[in-house]
């Protein structure tokens, strides 16, 4: 019997993932990676999953208790947020649809079969496996805690699990679309960012000003419309007759809506064809040195590519976070700006660790031209520095506009940003030559980093974060108010280290030009 497109796509997904791992790590590397994954599973993922199972059990067990009415809205909110945020994470991580949609559309398979195949194949991605496992254990725990309510929790698992997968596709497709219409995004997102940054603290202040009972009452009212709340009420036995039918139907109706929307968005992804510009001819470049030419080329590459432009949105997203959720966490502390700059500095990691990625087969031109390796690396560093300077300046202005008036803190944040940039540039140059991979200029897709680079990034991140936090801790303990000076001094030290490290990276590049040509040169 012929294999269904669904199984075929799912198999191809798994084979691609496995082949990629084996290619990047080699047979022994896969074993090492498996050990690392097992350690991570045992130390981080397993406790979370067990915790969710236990939480589910207590939810199920406590359903018929009189005080259940108090905490049920929170559970409803949590179970609704699970597929929304889970799908959001999965969609942004780019794990879904690693098979090019354009290729799949050439086959004699209905778009809905392709979509279904992609939808379920997305469940095999690591992040999604953990999310779905968590949801399953939560529901399993609840079923053990309240065996009679099992059908309701099964409906909850089915609908919310599928909603998570649909959200993944929806977010993936939406991210693809909005990045294609960058000018619209540039107008909409600042508006959204500023309004959110104003709205979130206002709402929090408003919520705090009322008594707890009023706040709970509002939450209770708001969550009444959630399908998960209807299911939980039915599981508690708090509803009967037609209300039970409604409880069972609404989650499916909502799921159908989300899935249909995702399907419509994904199935309408089309080749937009060539874009013609009728504007005046661009001014030709002039530069005095090879380094300046490469720097200008790098700036141009970043400013005209979607991944590069997307990085410009990070200051806005940071502002929303800082004025919203993080403002609640770091309430009353004076170093909000430093947190903001530290967070934003991580945005460009992907490209700093793959500095030749956007050149794709253009890398052959760079290596064929009589350009010295050091000029190539230095030019790219300057190009990236200019691009990051724009991001930092944007964040600086946005923080100023949003009421952050402590200039010392703002400049300390800028210095911190520079330190992180210098460290990531030094390690990134090495990673870019060691494990290059092509990046698409007009898409956010196909940007999955090799596992080794992911591990290197995490390592660099941990060491950098630890070192900078330790530095800040020492300064605030012994020399309070001198953070700016400390970060500037540390930045100068890093700048001093940059030149010998770049010399090492230059030698590494000279030895590995062939690797770059082989890996990137073939990409069209």
Partner 1 sequence: MTAALQLVNVTKRFGEKVAVDDLSLTIEAGSFVGLLGRNGAGKSTTLKMATSLIDPTAGSIHVLGLDLRTHSLEARRQIGVMPEDMALLELLTGPQYLRFVGRMYGLEDADIDHRAAELFDTLDLKAGPRTLVSDYSFGMKKKVALCAALIHRPKLLFLDEPFEGIDAVTNRTIKDILLQLQQRGVTLVLTSHILEVVEKLCPQIAIIDDGRLKGFGTLEQLSAGSTSLESLFVSLVGGTPRGALSWL
Q: How far is the CB of 499 from partner 1 (least distance, A)?
A: 36
Instruction: Tell me how long the chain is.
Output: 524
Residue 204 touches partner 1, criterion: CB under 8 A? no
Short-list 428, 403, 404, 429, CA closest to 414:
404
Nearer to partner 1, 67 or 272 (CB): 272
Distances (CA, A) of 494 to 28, 378, 382, 405, 406: 35, 15, 16, 28, 26
Radius of gyration of the chain (CA): 26
Residue 11 touches partner 1, criterion: CB under 8 A? yes
Q: Phi and psi at residue 465, in whole multiples of 5°? A: -60, -45
Among left, alpha and beta (phi > 0; psi -120 to 50; other), residue 386 is alpha
Residue 213 touches partner 1, criterion: CB under 8 A? no
What six digits make up the tokens of 513?
């030009």
Q: How far is the CB of 496 from partner 1 (least distance, A)?
A: 41
Nearer to partner 1, 23 or 218 (CB): 23
Q: Give the contacts of 190 (CB within 8 A, at least 6 positions apart).
A: 316
Binding partner 1 by CB under 8 A: which of 276, 280, 283, 496? Answer: 276
Residue 275 touches partner 1, criterion: CB under 8 A? yes
Nearer to partner 1, 104 or 149 (CB): 104
Q: By rule CB under 8 A, what count of residues binds partner 1?
A: 36
Q: How many CB atoms lie within 10 A of CB 194?
A: 17
Q: How far is the CB of 31 from partner 1 (least distance, A)?
A: 16
Residue 66 touches partner 1, criterion: CB under 8 A? no
- Judged by CB under 8 A, the stretch of 274-282, 294-302, 351-359, 427-435 that binds partner 1 is 274-282
Binding partner 1 by CB under 8 A: which of 67, 272, 282, 288? Answer: 272
User: DSSP assignment of 145-161, as one string?
Assistant: H-GGGHHHHHHHHHHHH
Site for partner 1 in 87-106 (CB under 8 A): 98-100, 102-106
Distances (CA, A) of 145 to 68, 151, 227, 247: 14, 13, 21, 20
d(CA 191, CA 427): 36
- Judged by CB under 8 A, the stretch of 17-25, 153-161, 250-258, 473-481 that binds partner 1 is 17-25
Residue 274 touches partner 1, criterion: CB under 8 A? yes
Binding partner 1 by CB under 8 A: which of 49, 54, 68, 109? Answer: 109
DSSP state of 346: T
User: DSSP assignment of 406-419, as one string?
Assistant: -HHHHHHHHHHHHH
Q: How far is the CB of 20 from partner 1 (least distance, A)?
A: 5
Q: How far is the CB of 524 from partner 1 (least distance, A)?
A: 6
Residue 452 touches partner 1, criterion: CB under 8 A? no
Binding site residues, partner 1, CB under 8 A: 1-3, 5, 7-8, 11-12, 15-16, 19-20, 22-23, 98-100, 102-110, 270-276, 278, 522, 524
């Amino acid at each position: 019997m012929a294999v269904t497109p669904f199984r075929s796509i799912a198999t191809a997904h798994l084979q691609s993932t496995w082949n990629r791992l084996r290619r990047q790590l080699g047979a022994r590397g896969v074993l090492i990676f498996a050990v690392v994954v097992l350690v991570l599973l045992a130390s981080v993922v397993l406790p979370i999953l067990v915790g969710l199972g236990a939480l589910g059990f207590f939810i199920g067990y406590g359903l018929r208790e009189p005080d259940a009415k108090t905490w049920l809205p929170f559970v409803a909110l949590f179970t609704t947020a699970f597929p929304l945020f889970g799908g959001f994470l999965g969609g942004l991580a780019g794990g879904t649809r690693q098979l090019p949609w354009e290729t799949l559309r050439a086959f004699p398979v209905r778009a809905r079969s392709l979509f279904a195949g992609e939808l379920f194949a997305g469940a095999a991605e690591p992040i999604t496996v953990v999310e779905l496992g968590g949801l399953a254990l939560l529901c399993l725990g609840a079923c053990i805690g309240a065996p009679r309510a099992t059908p309701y929790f099964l409906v909850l698992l089915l609908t919310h699990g599928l909603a998570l997968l649909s959200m993944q596709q929806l977010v993936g497709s939406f991210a693809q679309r909005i990045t294609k219409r960058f000018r619209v995004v540039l107008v909409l997102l600042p508006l959204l960012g500023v309004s959110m940054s104003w709205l979130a603290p206002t709402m929090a202040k408003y919520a705090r000003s009322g008594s707890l009972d009023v706040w709970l009452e509002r939450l209770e009212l708001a969550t009444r419309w959630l399908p998960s709340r209807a299911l939980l009420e039915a599981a508690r036995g708090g509803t009967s007759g037609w209300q039970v039918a409604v409880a069972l139907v609404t989650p499916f109706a909502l799921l159908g809506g989300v899935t249909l929307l995702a399907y419509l968005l994904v199935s309408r992804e089309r080749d937009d064809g060539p874009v013609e510009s009728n504007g005046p001819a661009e001014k030709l470049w002039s530069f005095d040195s090879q380094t300046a030419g490469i720097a200008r080329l790098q700036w141009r590459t970043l400013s005209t590519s979607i991944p590069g432009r997307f990085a410009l949105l990070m200051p806005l997203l940071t502002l929303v976070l800082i004025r919203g959720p993080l403002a609640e966490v770091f309430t009353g502390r004076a170093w909000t700006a430093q947190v903001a700059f530290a967070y934003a500095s991580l945005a460009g990691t992907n490209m700093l660790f793959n500095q030749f990625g956007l050149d794709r087969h253009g890398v052959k031109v760079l290596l064929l031209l009589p350009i010295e390796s050091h000029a190539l690396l230095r030019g790219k560093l300057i190009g990236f520095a200019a691009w990051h300077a724009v991001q930092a300046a944007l964040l600086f202005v946005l923080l100023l506009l949003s009421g952050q008036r402590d200039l010392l803190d703002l400049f300390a944040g800028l210095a911190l940003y520079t330190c992180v940039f210098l460290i990531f540039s030094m390690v990134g140059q090495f990673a870019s030559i060691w494990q290059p991979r092509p990046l698409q200029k007009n898409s956010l897709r196909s940007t999955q980093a090799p596992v080794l680079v992911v591990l290197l990034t995490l390592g660099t991140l941990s060491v950098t974060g630890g070192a900078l936090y330790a530095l800040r801790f020492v300064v605030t303990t012994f020399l309070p108010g001198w953070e700016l000076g400390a970060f500037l001094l540390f930045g100068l030290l890093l700048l001093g280290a940059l030149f010998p490290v770049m010399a090492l990276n230059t030698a590494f590049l000279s030895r590995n030009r062939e690797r770059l040509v082989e890996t990137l040169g073939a990409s069209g």
